[in-house]
Chains A and B, each alone.
Chain A
Amino acid sequence: MNAERIYRLLLRAYPPEFRAGYEREMVLLFRDQCQESDVRTLRFWGAVIYDVARSAPALRVEAWRQSTRTMEGIMKLAAMLTVLLGVLNILNAVVEWVAGSKQAVSGAYVLAVALGILASVLLLAAGVAILRGTRGWQAARLALFASLVMIVAARLLFPWMSIFSQLIGIGMPVGLLIALYWPRRASPLGAA
Protein backbone atom coordinates (compact mmCIF):
# COMPACT_ATOMS: atom_id res chain seq x y z
CA MET A 1 0.00 0.00 0.00
CA ASN A 2 1.56 3.31 -0.99
CA ALA A 3 1.69 6.42 1.19
CA GLU A 4 -1.10 8.21 -0.65
CA ARG A 5 -3.51 5.32 -0.20
CA ILE A 6 -2.75 5.24 3.52
CA TYR A 7 -3.33 8.99 3.69
CA ARG A 8 -6.64 8.66 1.85
CA LEU A 9 -7.68 6.11 4.48
CA LEU A 10 -6.69 8.52 7.26
CA LEU A 11 -8.78 11.23 5.62
CA ARG A 12 -11.87 9.21 6.49
CA ALA A 13 -11.47 10.63 10.01
CA TYR A 14 -12.69 13.99 8.66
CA PRO A 15 -16.38 14.81 8.25
CA PRO A 16 -17.76 13.94 4.78
CA GLU A 17 -18.71 17.58 3.99
CA PHE A 18 -15.16 18.71 4.73
CA ARG A 19 -13.71 15.90 2.61
CA ALA A 20 -16.02 16.82 -0.25
CA GLY A 21 -14.60 20.34 -0.23
CA TYR A 22 -10.94 19.79 0.58
CA GLU A 23 -9.89 16.16 0.05
CA ARG A 24 -8.37 16.77 -3.38
CA GLU A 25 -6.37 19.76 -2.11
CA MET A 26 -5.21 17.85 0.97
CA VAL A 27 -4.04 14.88 -1.09
CA LEU A 28 -2.23 17.26 -3.42
CA LEU A 29 -0.49 18.87 -0.47
CA PHE A 30 0.34 15.46 0.97
CA ARG A 31 1.89 14.49 -2.37
CA ASP A 32 4.04 17.64 -2.19
CA GLN A 33 5.12 16.67 1.32
CA CYS A 34 5.97 13.15 0.15
CA GLN A 35 8.23 14.56 -2.55
CA GLU A 36 10.21 16.54 0.00
CA SER A 37 10.34 14.04 2.88
CA ASP A 38 11.30 10.45 3.44
CA VAL A 39 7.92 8.69 3.74
CA ARG A 40 9.55 5.59 5.23
CA THR A 41 10.43 7.34 8.48
CA LEU A 42 8.48 7.16 11.70
CA ARG A 43 8.88 10.90 12.09
CA PHE A 44 7.02 11.60 8.85
CA TRP A 45 4.07 9.38 9.75
CA GLY A 46 4.08 10.66 13.33
CA ALA A 47 3.60 14.19 11.99
CA VAL A 48 0.86 13.04 9.58
CA ILE A 49 -1.05 11.19 12.29
CA TYR A 50 -0.60 14.08 14.73
CA ASP A 51 -2.06 16.46 12.15
CA VAL A 52 -5.08 14.23 11.54
CA ALA A 53 -5.59 13.56 15.27
CA ARG A 54 -5.39 17.28 15.99
CA SER A 55 -7.65 18.60 13.26
CA ALA A 56 -10.20 15.85 12.49
CA PRO A 57 -11.98 15.75 15.89
CA ALA A 58 -12.29 19.57 15.93
CA LEU A 59 -13.76 19.55 12.42
CA ARG A 60 -16.10 16.70 13.39
CA VAL A 61 -17.34 18.74 16.35
CA GLU A 62 -17.80 21.80 14.12
CA ALA A 63 -19.71 19.74 11.55
CA TRP A 64 -21.87 18.31 14.30
CA ARG A 65 -22.57 21.79 15.64
CA GLN A 66 -23.47 23.04 12.19
CA SER A 67 -25.75 20.08 11.64
CA THR A 68 -27.34 20.80 15.00
CA ARG A 69 -27.82 24.44 14.13
CA THR A 70 -31.33 23.35 15.00
CA MET A 71 -30.05 23.04 18.59
CA GLU A 72 -32.37 25.83 19.64
CA GLY A 73 -35.21 24.01 17.92
CA ILE A 74 -34.36 20.86 19.85
CA MET A 75 -34.16 22.91 23.06
CA LYS A 76 -37.63 24.31 22.32
CA LEU A 77 -39.02 20.80 21.95
CA ALA A 78 -37.31 19.82 25.21
CA ALA A 79 -38.76 22.93 26.84
CA MET A 80 -42.29 22.04 25.72
CA LEU A 81 -41.81 18.54 27.10
CA THR A 82 -40.52 20.06 30.35
CA VAL A 83 -43.60 22.27 30.64
CA LEU A 84 -45.83 19.25 30.02
CA LEU A 85 -43.99 17.11 32.55
CA GLY A 86 -44.04 19.96 35.06
CA VAL A 87 -47.84 20.16 34.74
CA LEU A 88 -48.17 16.35 35.04
CA ASN A 89 -45.96 16.32 38.13
CA ILE A 90 -48.01 19.10 39.72
CA LEU A 91 -51.21 17.13 39.04
CA ASN A 92 -49.57 13.99 40.41
CA ALA A 93 -48.53 15.82 43.60
CA VAL A 94 -52.01 17.37 44.01
CA VAL A 95 -53.65 13.94 43.61
CA GLU A 96 -51.22 12.58 46.19
CA TRP A 97 -52.00 15.51 48.49
CA VAL A 98 -55.78 14.92 48.20
CA ALA A 99 -55.39 11.17 48.76
CA GLY A 100 -53.10 11.73 51.72
CA SER A 101 -55.29 14.36 53.35
CA LYS A 102 -58.07 11.76 53.88
CA GLN A 103 -55.94 10.10 56.53
CA ALA A 104 -53.67 11.20 59.33
CA VAL A 105 -50.42 12.43 57.80
CA SER A 106 -47.07 13.35 59.28
CA GLY A 107 -45.39 16.73 58.94
CA ALA A 108 -42.59 15.17 56.88
CA TYR A 109 -45.15 13.86 54.39
CA VAL A 110 -46.80 17.27 54.02
CA LEU A 111 -43.44 18.95 53.55
CA ALA A 112 -42.33 16.33 51.02
CA VAL A 113 -45.48 16.77 48.93
CA ALA A 114 -45.19 20.57 49.13
CA LEU A 115 -41.56 20.35 47.98
CA GLY A 116 -42.68 18.05 45.15
CA ILE A 117 -45.24 20.60 43.99
CA LEU A 118 -42.71 23.43 44.23
CA ALA A 119 -40.13 21.39 42.30
CA SER A 120 -42.70 20.72 39.58
CA VAL A 121 -43.62 24.41 39.40
CA LEU A 122 -39.91 25.23 39.03
CA LEU A 123 -39.57 22.59 36.30
CA LEU A 124 -42.50 24.18 34.49
CA ALA A 125 -40.95 27.65 34.96
CA ALA A 126 -37.63 26.38 33.56
CA GLY A 127 -39.47 25.08 30.50
CA VAL A 128 -41.12 28.46 29.98
CA ALA A 129 -37.76 30.25 30.43
CA ILE A 130 -36.09 28.01 27.81
CA LEU A 131 -38.97 28.72 25.42
CA ARG A 132 -38.06 32.43 25.63
CA GLY A 133 -34.76 31.63 23.89
CA THR A 134 -31.14 32.01 25.02
CA ARG A 135 -31.91 35.10 27.11
CA GLY A 136 -34.02 32.90 29.40
CA TRP A 137 -31.38 30.20 29.82
CA GLN A 138 -29.77 31.65 32.96
CA ALA A 139 -33.15 31.77 34.73
CA ALA A 140 -33.83 28.23 33.49
CA ARG A 141 -30.55 26.98 34.95
CA LEU A 142 -31.39 28.45 38.36
CA ALA A 143 -34.91 27.00 38.27
CA LEU A 144 -33.60 23.58 37.28
CA PHE A 145 -30.98 23.57 40.05
CA ALA A 146 -33.62 24.55 42.61
CA SER A 147 -36.05 21.95 41.24
CA LEU A 148 -33.40 19.24 41.45
CA VAL A 149 -32.52 20.11 45.04
CA MET A 150 -36.21 20.10 46.03
CA ILE A 151 -36.96 16.76 44.38
CA VAL A 152 -34.01 15.16 46.13
CA ALA A 153 -35.04 16.76 49.45
CA ALA A 154 -38.65 15.57 48.96
CA ARG A 155 -37.44 12.08 48.15
CA LEU A 156 -35.28 11.98 51.28
CA LEU A 157 -38.05 13.37 53.52
CA PHE A 158 -40.82 11.01 52.44
CA PRO A 159 -40.77 8.53 49.53
CA TRP A 160 -44.24 9.36 48.16
CA MET A 161 -43.26 9.70 44.50
CA SER A 162 -43.44 6.86 42.01
CA ILE A 163 -40.24 5.65 40.36
CA PHE A 164 -41.42 7.31 37.12
CA SER A 165 -41.94 10.68 38.85
CA GLN A 166 -38.51 10.44 40.46
CA LEU A 167 -36.87 9.59 37.15
CA ILE A 168 -38.52 12.58 35.51
CA GLY A 169 -37.98 14.88 38.47
CA ILE A 170 -34.26 14.10 38.60
CA GLY A 171 -33.44 13.02 35.03
CA MET A 172 -35.14 15.93 33.27
CA PRO A 173 -33.34 18.75 35.17
CA VAL A 174 -29.99 16.93 34.92
CA GLY A 175 -30.39 16.41 31.15
CA LEU A 176 -31.49 20.00 30.58
CA LEU A 177 -28.67 21.40 32.74
CA ILE A 178 -26.12 19.43 30.69
CA ALA A 179 -27.67 20.81 27.48
CA LEU A 180 -27.73 24.37 28.85
CA TYR A 181 -24.14 24.25 30.10
CA TRP A 182 -22.80 22.53 26.97
CA PRO A 183 -19.98 24.79 25.75
CA ARG A 184 -20.74 26.93 22.72
CA ARG A 185 -17.97 27.78 20.28
CA ALA A 186 -16.23 30.91 21.53
CA SER A 187 -14.41 31.92 18.36
CA PRO A 188 -15.59 31.47 14.78
CA LEU A 189 -11.95 30.82 13.90
CA GLY A 190 -11.53 27.81 16.18
CA ALA A 191 -8.51 27.10 18.36
CA ALA A 192 -5.99 25.67 15.89
Chain B
Amino acid sequence: MALSFGAREAAIVTKRHAGRPPEAYLPLPPATFHILLALADGEQHGYAIMKGVTARSEGTVRLGPGTLYGALKRLLETGLVQEGGERADPERGDERRRYYRLTQLGLSVARAEAQRLEAMVRAARRKKLIGVRPA
Protein backbone atom coordinates (compact mmCIF):
# COMPACT_ATOMS: atom_id res chain seq x y z
CA MET B 1 0.00 0.00 0.00
CA ALA B 2 1.36 3.41 -0.99
CA LEU B 3 1.97 5.76 1.89
CA SER B 4 0.57 9.32 1.78
CA PHE B 5 2.83 12.33 2.28
CA GLY B 6 1.84 12.56 5.95
CA ALA B 7 2.48 8.87 6.57
CA ARG B 8 5.92 8.96 4.90
CA GLU B 9 6.92 11.97 6.98
CA ALA B 10 5.49 10.31 10.08
CA ALA B 11 7.42 7.09 9.44
CA ILE B 12 10.68 9.03 9.44
CA VAL B 13 9.87 10.92 12.63
CA THR B 14 8.47 7.81 14.36
CA LYS B 15 11.91 6.22 14.24
CA ARG B 16 13.14 9.05 16.43
CA HIS B 17 10.51 8.24 19.09
CA ALA B 18 11.04 4.49 18.99
CA GLY B 19 11.61 2.87 22.35
CA ARG B 20 10.06 5.58 24.51
CA PRO B 21 7.86 4.25 27.32
CA PRO B 22 4.16 5.29 27.26
CA GLU B 23 4.67 7.46 30.37
CA ALA B 24 7.16 9.62 28.43
CA TYR B 25 4.24 11.05 26.41
CA LEU B 26 2.25 12.19 29.45
CA PRO B 27 0.44 14.37 30.25
CA LEU B 28 -1.45 14.42 26.97
CA PRO B 29 -3.04 17.63 25.70
CA PRO B 30 -6.84 17.30 26.17
CA ALA B 31 -7.58 17.32 22.42
CA THR B 32 -5.04 14.55 21.88
CA PHE B 33 -6.54 12.36 24.59
CA HIS B 34 -9.99 12.87 23.10
CA ILE B 35 -8.71 11.76 19.69
CA LEU B 36 -7.12 8.65 21.18
CA LEU B 37 -10.38 7.89 23.00
CA ALA B 38 -12.29 8.26 19.73
CA LEU B 39 -9.91 5.88 17.96
CA ALA B 40 -10.16 3.34 20.79
CA ASP B 41 -13.52 2.42 19.19
CA GLY B 42 -11.74 1.44 15.97
CA GLU B 43 -10.59 2.95 12.69
CA GLN B 44 -12.20 6.32 11.92
CA HIS B 45 -11.90 9.22 9.49
CA GLY B 46 -11.48 12.86 10.53
CA TYR B 47 -15.14 13.82 10.57
CA ALA B 48 -16.12 10.78 12.63
CA ILE B 49 -13.38 11.59 15.13
CA MET B 50 -14.58 15.20 15.33
CA LYS B 51 -18.20 14.19 15.88
CA GLY B 52 -17.19 11.56 18.44
CA VAL B 53 -15.16 14.09 20.44
CA THR B 54 -18.00 16.62 20.45
CA ALA B 55 -20.51 13.97 21.53
CA ARG B 56 -18.29 12.45 24.24
CA SER B 57 -17.40 15.83 25.74
CA GLU B 58 -21.05 16.92 25.54
CA GLY B 59 -20.03 19.82 23.33
CA THR B 60 -17.35 21.21 25.65
CA VAL B 61 -14.52 20.17 23.30
CA ARG B 62 -14.97 21.08 19.64
CA LEU B 63 -12.15 20.24 17.29
CA GLY B 64 -11.93 22.28 14.12
CA PRO B 65 -10.15 20.85 11.06
CA GLY B 66 -6.89 22.65 11.91
CA THR B 67 -6.75 21.48 15.50
CA LEU B 68 -7.80 17.94 14.57
CA TYR B 69 -5.35 17.42 11.71
CA GLY B 70 -2.57 19.24 13.58
CA ALA B 71 -2.99 16.78 16.45
CA LEU B 72 -3.30 13.81 14.07
CA LYS B 73 -0.08 14.85 12.33
CA ARG B 74 1.73 14.82 15.70
CA LEU B 75 0.16 11.51 16.65
CA LEU B 76 1.30 9.99 13.35
CA GLU B 77 4.79 11.38 13.84
CA THR B 78 5.06 9.95 17.32
CA GLY B 79 3.71 6.59 16.22
CA LEU B 80 0.62 6.66 18.46
CA VAL B 81 -1.69 6.56 15.45
CA GLN B 82 -1.30 5.13 11.98
CA GLU B 83 -3.12 5.55 8.72
CA GLY B 84 -5.52 2.80 7.82
CA GLY B 85 -5.94 3.57 4.15
CA GLU B 86 -8.45 5.60 2.16
CA ARG B 87 -11.99 4.70 1.27
CA ALA B 88 -15.39 6.32 0.92
CA ASP B 89 -17.76 6.46 3.88
CA PRO B 90 -21.14 5.29 2.51
CA GLU B 91 -22.90 7.60 4.98
CA ARG B 92 -21.00 10.66 3.76
CA GLY B 93 -20.83 10.37 -0.01
CA ASP B 94 -18.38 9.12 -2.61
CA GLU B 95 -15.32 11.12 -1.56
CA ARG B 96 -12.48 8.91 -0.41
CA ARG B 97 -11.52 9.62 3.20
CA ARG B 98 -8.34 8.83 5.04
CA TYR B 99 -8.86 6.57 8.03
CA TYR B 100 -6.78 6.54 11.20
CA ARG B 101 -6.30 3.87 13.83
CA LEU B 102 -4.52 3.48 17.15
CA THR B 103 -1.20 1.67 17.28
CA GLN B 104 -0.25 -0.59 20.18
CA LEU B 105 1.82 2.28 21.57
CA GLY B 106 -1.13 4.66 21.16
CA LEU B 107 -3.33 2.29 23.12
CA SER B 108 -0.71 2.01 25.90
CA VAL B 109 -0.35 5.79 26.05
CA ALA B 110 -4.13 6.27 26.21
CA ARG B 111 -4.29 3.70 29.05
CA ALA B 112 -1.43 5.39 30.90
CA GLU B 113 -3.13 8.79 30.55
CA ALA B 114 -6.46 7.36 31.75
CA GLN B 115 -4.72 5.85 34.80
CA ARG B 116 -2.97 9.17 35.49
CA LEU B 117 -6.27 11.03 35.35
CA GLU B 118 -7.95 8.38 37.50
CA ALA B 119 -5.24 8.79 40.15
CA MET B 120 -5.78 12.55 40.10
CA VAL B 121 -9.52 12.15 40.49
CA ARG B 122 -8.93 9.76 43.43
CA ALA B 123 -6.65 12.34 45.03
CA ALA B 124 -9.25 15.09 44.50
CA ARG B 125 -11.89 12.84 46.06
CA ARG B 126 -9.68 12.17 49.08
CA LYS B 127 -9.28 15.92 49.49
CA LYS B 128 -13.09 16.16 49.23
CA LEU B 129 -12.83 18.46 46.22
CA ILE B 130 -15.35 16.28 44.38
CA GLY B 131 -17.97 13.75 45.38
CA VAL B 132 -19.18 15.91 48.27
CA ARG B 133 -22.33 17.94 48.10
CA PRO B 134 -21.68 21.61 48.82
CA ALA B 135 -23.25 22.79 52.06
Contact = CB atoms under 8 A, between A and B. Distances in A.
Contacts of B9: 17, 21
Contact of A187 (B5, B25, B62, B73): B25
A139 interface: no
A50 B64 contact: yes
Interface residues of B, number: 33
A189 B47 contact: no
B82 interface: no
A52 B47 contact: no
A190 interface: yes
B105 interface: no
Nearest to B5: A21
Find the residue from A14, A20, A192 having the highest chain B CB count within 10 A.
A192
Contacts of A22: 6, 69, 72-73
Interface string A148-192: 000000000000000000000000000000000000000111111
A68 interface: no
A189 B65 contact: no
A14 B46 CA distance: 18
A51 B73 CA distance: 16
Contact of B74 (A21, A29, A188): A188
B92 interface: yes
B38 interface: no
Interface residues of A, number: 29
Interface in B82-96: 92, 95
A29 B31 contact: no
Contacts of A64: none
A32 B70 contact: no
B4 interface: yes
Contacts of A192: 29, 31-32, 67, 70-71
Contacts of A189: 25, 28-29, 32, 71, 74-75, 78, 80
Interface of A: 14, 17-18, 20-22, 25-26, 28-30, 32-33, 47-48, 50-52, 54-56, 58-59, 187-192
Given A32-B92, A50-B64, A188-B74, 10 more contacts: A17-B9, A29-B50, A32-B47, A47-B62, A47-B64, A52-B64, A52-B66, A188-B17, A189-B25, A192-B67
14 contacts: A22-B72, A25-B97, A29-B47, A29-B68, A51-B64, A59-B66, A189-B25, A189-B32, A189-B71, A189-B74, A189-B80, A190-B70, A190-B71, A192-B31
